[in-house]
Structure 1
């Protein structure tokens, strides 16, 4: 059970101090009071309170002097300054000096309790960060950072999958670390001394991807000025990682299937097969079986590659791993940029934990790097990242609002006749395909090109309709 936060009230008016004590008596806090600055310093050194209610006007010194003294002695506490209405500018100076919040006299019980509770919650977050900082013996594998339950499940899957030769299929949203997972599998496998070759199927033009995988001979196509080994040959004995595999063209999927089945490749422009021994690891940010049902991914290839599935959780489901990763990135980028950042402040921790991270670790990395470049340390504060973490949320809110308005407009203007005119999608699709084939004088491949789909897709559709493609 977490020990209640200790509170020190620094107030020269005994009646006001007792009023604050009464306000807080039902909140399970340990509360003590002092009346002067010198007494405050002694109490702070002796008891190390977690929260300090500090009146800025004391009989022997200014409250700002106590704040400066705490900073110079590296004494950490959540300081809530108390001031009169005419001293708001001084309260702002106190906030810039490191105070957590300020209260203007007179204030209500609810205002005091809410402010103290907020300070207490930030202390709990700081405690979490310290816990993860001190427990550096993480059970993470490879370059992963984090000890959340979802990631521990991933680590177990990696450890179980690594010794095997079975093909592994990694799934997860963009930015969750699918390539890190593939590298971890390779580094924990018997093939770790052999090459790890990664190929992003979405980043290579369709007319070049076959050559990138299987290689080519000189003169195989325009620009092929010399023989070149593909990724399959380069990965011989090791691991071939095919990222975004669901983006691979259907005709190339057939050749990949043959490679998976036989362990042989034929470079473009060659008549000789090359025997290679690779372990296949694939990844996608889509749902593979949905792609099979949609007709964009071969079912037989799916079963060959989807032997060991590993699901990487989104960052929003990883709890306090967000802070561990952010700390690592903060130190890394601070070193790269020559900045003096040392730690993540409570307000920044709160902002990081509140964001849902649609871009996952890639988005978090971008936010931390931008904050480091644009600001100075030693603490990363919430104000430094507020706009950065808000961009994605604003874009999503705008999109959601636009979609809602669009739906409302459609609902208002649709009448019963328009609703009845809607036809099943498969019927519309068949009519479009048959119309295209008719315009192309029955030539299926020309129709497929005009429709911007693979010919195999049209053949498969026609077969399902009971139509002879010939």
Structure 2
């Protein structure tokens, strides 16, 4: 259970947070002052701090600076009213995970808490390499094949430099683990590490998320906002799935790499930024360059050093080690005896094509263990686990477009936070855009086609910042 510390002098707010976070499954500590909060951090080692800027005695900024001296990797979310936004921005520049304005929406703060917790875990949890499968921790890169030895050597050679690294590999090969290993063996290990998934954020929001915006930059921009890259100043940023990044944002990333500066939306000032960029993709960038969907100049800037992660089918020699690791890990998690594998089951695992790579292997082992009766896995047990998904689909008599199915599978293997809502948001945006095209922009007709009310449709258009230019009058 994760522990969250709330530092705020408002008794009612602390009580509300306590009730809310307990319902969400967190352990909660509260403190009415910075001094009391610092004592709790020293004695209880919380996983996350939510800190108010205005406090009696030590103010929020002073408290944050002292927190940094105690633990450089403890994520801190700053709370602020409109009048103290600039102080919150200053704290963010000094390394706070993010800030949120009072009063805030509960879904927003819960989402931010999950993101901050994950960032804290990534910074604190050591990624080990080539460990003994029987004793390895959760975050481990396993493999003794020649291909994986080359990966370990590349990590060792480049980690202590500030070189930009491009990690290439199919979905499920472990690109994020390699990025974390690079960070944890780098000179920036005591600074922030941010993972930005370029496909998890809608294109319409990605630019403002990455680079921030100035007050008045667009409707709803009532205050200056610091972007995720600026928040990571002096640290490391992983741009995951960069092959899917829109061209206009690729240009801004190129400027960041060339000039070491960013410009917020609505701003005219270049802001110096010192970050190490690690990029990852499962795309064929050479084909994307030919197709015009990826900038060639950005490709060469990103690939100063390239680490290629082999698909599992090309390192069959590692399947026995990986299977032993997942069996040991999941048996402990489920409090079961490790049943082991028969030689026939191991041969079946080695002969499978593994389109989902290591992540798919983990899922197959886990499913087989769930239905295990205690004896060593046989070939038929593995076969059942491999084919379970297809059988479930057949039972439901559902036909799904192959392109949509592959996209959903890739998302399911991505380990995204809040995956259901992310998928639903993407489907909703596609659905609304298509129905508006069909209706010529007529909102009433579009709402009728979708079977929802016009106010509901308008609310979703506003939520997703959708725009549809049309000569047809929309009533």
Conserved 8 A contact 1:216-1:269: yes
**Residue matched to 1:318:** 315
Distance in 2, matches of 1:303 and 1:135, equals: 37
- CA drift of 1:284 comes to 1.2
Local SS of the residue matching 2:297: helix
Deviations 1:70-126 (A, max 9, x none): xxxxxxxxxxxxxxxxxxxxxxxxxxxxxxxxxxxxxxxxxxxxxxxxxxxxxxxxx
CA separation of 1:193/1:376 partners in 2, compared to 1, >3 Å: closer, same or farther? farther
Q: Map of 1:226-265 to 2, 5 A cutoff? A: 226-265=223-262
How many aligned residue pairs are there?
264
How far apart are the structure 2 equivalents of 1:169 and 1:133?
Answer: 24
Q: Given the alignment of the two structures, is residue 266 of structure 1 paired with residue 266 of structure 2, yes or no? A: no
Aligned counterpart, 2:473 = none
Q: Report the counterpart of residue 44 of structure 1 in structure 2.
A: none
2: CA distance between counterparts of 1:284 and 1:135?
27
**1:386 and 1:288, CA in 2 relative to 1: closer, same or farther beyond 3 A?**
same
Q: Is the 8 A contact 1:163 1:188 kept in 2?
A: yes
Please state if 1:327 is matched with 2:324. Answer: yes
The within-5 A match list for 1:94-109 is none
Match of 1:169 in 2: 166
Specify which of 357, 363, 368 is matched with residue 365 of structure 2: 368
1:309 CA displacement: 1.2
Contact persistence 1:133–1:324 (CA under 8 A): no
Larger of the two Rg values belongs to structure: 1
**2:330 is equivalent to residue 337 of structure 1:** no
- Residues 343 and 226 (structure 1 numbering): CA distance in 2 closer, same or farther, change over 3 Å? farther
- Alignment CA distance shift 1:272-1:133 (3 Å): closer
SS of structure 2 residue aligned to 1:259: helix
1:38-65 deviation digits (Å, cap 9, x = unpaired): xxxxxxxxxxxxxxxxxxxxxxxxxxxx
Consecutive unaligned residues of structure 2, counting only runs of 5 or more, are: 1-129, 393-401, 403-475
2:153 corresponds in structure 1 to: 156
Residue of structure 2 equivalent to 1:188? 185
Separation in 2 of the partners of 1:181 and 1:341? 28
Q: Does the Cα contact within 8 Å between 1:172 and 1:314 map onto a contact in 2?
A: yes
Residue 231 and residue 195 in structure 1: after superposition, are their counterparts in 2 closer, same or farther (change >3 A)? Answer: same
TM-score, normalised to structure 1's length? 0.52
- The 8 Å contact of residues 341 and 378 in structure 1, kept in 2 or not, is answered as no
Shift of the alpha carbon at 1:205?
A: 0.7
Shift of 1:348: 2.0
> Matched residues in 1 for 2:321 and 2:226: separation?
41
198 and 134 in structure 1: CA distance in 2 versus 1, 3 angstrom threshold: closer
Distance change in 2, residues 1:222/1:371 (3 Å): farther
Matches within 5 A, 1:103-118: none
TM-score by length of 2: 0.51
Deviations 1:389-430 (A, max 9, x none): 2468999xxxxxx9xxxxxxxxxxxxxxxxxxxxxxxxxxxx
